[in-house]
């Protein structure tokens, strides 16, 4: 991988790291804002997502240093609707996951034909993010609905 391509990959990995760190903050916040009868399983699920986001950020940071770069100290956007209904939280989560998925696809395009390591990492993360999106999408459907949720 030439220096220019390596710099582009490092920038993409830092963006991923920032988005995943934002996920840690968002999911932690969401877990604190859940009320009602289903609070315990939903809070547990949100905390699990925060832990997963932290692991993803750490993995991206390790790849930044592997390439000789400096991991970002920034955190991605922390916008929220200030609506804390479970549906609102899940829709915000879905939007966040779509942004993260796009960042992994960007990394895959950068790495293709240049680094098997980064290609495989990007593919692995794309699979994880797409499965996570599907999980959130199913949570947003009404019981008995099979059609994909659309906002």
Residue 127 lies in a domain: yes
In a domain, 148, yes or no: no
User: Is 145 within a domain?
Assistant: no
Range of the domain at 128: 3-73+84-140
pLDDT at 81: 75
Please list, in sequence order, all residues whose beta carbon lies within 8 angstroms of the beta carbon of residue 57, skipping any fewer than 6 positions away: 16, 17, 20, 21, 23, 24
Whether residue 133 lies inside any domain: the answer is: yes
Q: What is the pLDDT confidence band of residue 143, given thresholds at 50, 70 and 90?
A: confident
* Residue 125 belongs to domain with CATH number: 1.20.1260.10
Q: Count the domains in the chain.
A: 1
Report if residue 151 sits inside a domain. no
| Token pair belonging to 40 | 């315990």
pLDDT digits (tens, 9 = 90+) for 20-69: 999 999 999 999 999 998 899 999 999 999 999 999 999 999 999 999 99
In a domain, 58, yes or no: yes
Confidence (pLDDT) at 145: 82
């Amino acid at each position: 991988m030439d220096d220019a391509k390596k710099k582009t990959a490092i920038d993409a990995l830092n963006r991923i790291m920032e988005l995943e760190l934002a996920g840690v903050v968002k999911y932690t916040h969401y877990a604190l804002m859940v009320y009602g009868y289903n609070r315990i399983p939903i809070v547990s699920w949100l905390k699990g997502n925060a832990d997963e986001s932290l692991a993803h950020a750490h993995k991206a940071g390790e790849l930044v240093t592997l390439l000789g770069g400096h991991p970002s100290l920034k955190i991605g956007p922390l916008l929220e609707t200030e609506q804390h209904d479970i549906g609102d939280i899940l829709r915000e989560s879905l939007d966040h996951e779509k942004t993260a998925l796009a960042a992994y696809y960007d990394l895959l395009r950068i790495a293709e034909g240049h680094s098997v390591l980064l290609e495989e990492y990007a593919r692995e993360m794309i699979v994880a993010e797409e499965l996570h999106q599907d999980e959130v999408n199913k949570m947003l459907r009404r019981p008995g609905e099979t059609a994909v949720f659309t906002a």
